Amino acid sequence: MLKFKTINIELIALFLSLLIVLNYTLMFVVYNNYIGKIIVPIYVLTLIIFFIIQPTKHIVFKLSLIFLILIAAGSPLTRWDAWAIWLFHAKRIFIEENFFITLNNYTNLHNDYPLMMPSFAVSFAQFLNGWNIIFPKISIFFLYMPPLIYSLKIFDNLFSKVFLILTFILLNEFLFNGYIDGLIAIYFSFSLYLSYDIFIKKNKGVINIAICLFFLVILSLLKNEGFVLTFIIVSFALIYNILNFKRISFLDKSFVIYFSLIPYLIWKLICIKNGIENDLVNEGSLERFLSLKIFLENIWVIFKSLFLNIKFIVSLIMFLASFVFFKNNMLFKITIYCSLFYIFVLIFIYLTTPHDLNWHLNTSSQRTMMTISYLFGFISIINLSRKFDISQRG
């Protein structure tokens, strides 16, 4: 019976993530006004099924999610990126009835960003048959549901509460303010863990692989940073196989994980074809990176902005301490590899930024490092929960 319940949690997370990817795919291939009228009711119905089946099981977790939905619905939209980029892109798609309308490069609003989140917001507007500022914004929080629900497979009743508390503390306002950075943090952390489970622990069940694939596709299409993080996770799987002299077989079910990179690459090729450029890339980028003078002037400023914040420091301490109690070397290695890779990418971006460095750091450094802080906290809870489970059985 317990196994059946666990599979139900997996299937709900799988089906929700499938609907998100399907919604984007349909918008991309053949935009029409009926997509949201079909996808949104099915998505909401699936969530209702999760809440009402065995209502007393995980009751605190379920009530917490309902409470967070109410906060998301009642919080105003005040931040610039949320209004002028994400929901504005969604509004243009909805009004023009054209998924690719952002490719006309109307003003400088990061038109190269992939449209996973705007497409989901458009579906919510289609379901209402009209645009308003509240309901499409709630769709952003609904994107959190697949990994949040899947956490019940990873954590028992006690640690699922600890996980929710950690998520609220580390992501905080980013759960509700219309930004995408909280989504990037949570999808990256769960995708990394699922990849570890598949490639290291060899849990290659079809459902496990499918959830990992959909999580990685969603991650890659949330934002450009999401693709970088997806590439980092996929690269670890490839390097691990090479270092362990394991032949990469096209017949292995887990090979499908590598296809998670394709949707973003297709989007990027379309952007290039339409002359849509990234605002961080220009002819002087490499020159600034190779300049020792610029490097020495800026590296300390970048270091302070990235690492001298309380959430990162506390998460790092938790992460390191958890491995003292539970020595899982491979989980430690994959976490360190992915974290350092991403940090080096961030340092490179800030060293080569065409914008004023202080402005760029002040507006983005804490958001980008939130991904690493959340990953460290998430892995720490996994370690502690495993240690607690072993001690209980002992």
* pLDDT tens digits, one per residue of 137-148: 899 999 999 999
365, two tokens: 């450094």
**Using CB atoms within 10 A of its CB, is residue 342 exposed (0-12), middle (13-18) or buried (19+)?**
buried
Query: What's the burial of 309, exposed, middle or buried (CB within 10 Å: 0-12/13-18/19+)?
Result: middle
Interatomic CA distance for residues 306 and 343, integer angstroms: 9
Q: What percent of the chain has pLDDT over 90?
A: 63
The span from the CA of 312 to the CA of 318, in Å, is 10
Q: Residue 228: what pLDDT?
A: 96
Do residues 288 and 351 make contact, with C-beta atoms less than 8 angstroms apart?
A: yes
Burial (CB count within 10 angstroms: exposed 0-12, middle 13-18, buried 19+), residue 261? middle
- What is the pLDDT averaged over residues 184-198? 96
Task: Please tell me the predicted confidence (pLDDT) of residue 6.
Answer: 45
What's residue 79's pLDDT? 79
Write down the pLDDT at residue 362.
Answer: 92
**DSSP conformation class of 250:** T
Give residue 239's pLDDT.
85
| Mean pLDDT, the chain, integer | 88
Whole-angstrom distance, CA of residue 264 vs CA of residue 278 = 14
**Would you tell me how many other CB atoms lie within 10 Å of the CB of residue 392?**
8
pLDDT tens sequence across 274-322: 988 877 766 555 666 566 667 777 889 999 999 999 999 999 999 999 8
Contact criterion met (CB below 8 Å) for 48 and 66: no
pLDDT bucket at 254, cuts 50 / 70 / 90 = confident
Residue 288's H or E segment, with its range, is helix 285-290
Q: Choose between 19 and 172: higher pLDDT.
A: 19
pLDDT band at 5 (very low <50, low <70, confident <90, very high): very low
Q: CA 256, 257, 258, 260: dihedral to nearest 10 degrees?
A: 110
**pLDDT at 281 (0 to 100):** 64
SS3 content of the chain, % helix, strand, coil (to 5): 80, 0, 20
The pLDDT of residue 4 is above 60: no
Q: What local confidence, expressed as pLDDT, does residue 355 receive? A: 83
Nearest C-alpha neighbor of 219 from the set 230, 208, 209: 230
Whether residue 245 is predicted with pLDDT greater than 90 in this model: the reply is no
Nearest residue to 224 (alpha-carbon basis) of 259, 193, 257, 264: 264
**Confidence band of 1 (pLDDT split at 50, 70, 90):** very low
Q: Is the pLDDT of residue 212 over 90?
A: yes
Q: How many whole angstroms separate alpha carbon 252 and alpha carbon 237?
A: 13
Report whether pLDDT(59) > 70. yes
Query: Of 237, 221, 281, 285, nearest to 86 (Cα)?
Result: 221
Give the range among 20-24, 73-77, 160-164, 253-257 with minimum mean pLDDT. Answer: 73-77
Q: What span, in angstroms and rounded, lies between the C-alpha atoms of 390 and 394?
A: 6
Report pLDDT for 28: 96
Highest average pLDDT, of 114-128, 233-247, 322-336, comes from: 114-128
pTM: 0.93
In percent, the amount of the chain with pLDDT more than 70 equals 90
Query: Hey, what are 58's tokens?
Result: 């995980």
Residue pointed to by tokens 């490499």: 286
Q: How far is CA 133 from CA 120, 126, 136, 248, 292, in A?
A: 14, 13, 6, 47, 47
Give residue 133's pLDDT band: very low, low, confident or very high (50, 70, 90): confident
Q: What is the mean pLDDT of residues 35-46?
A: 96
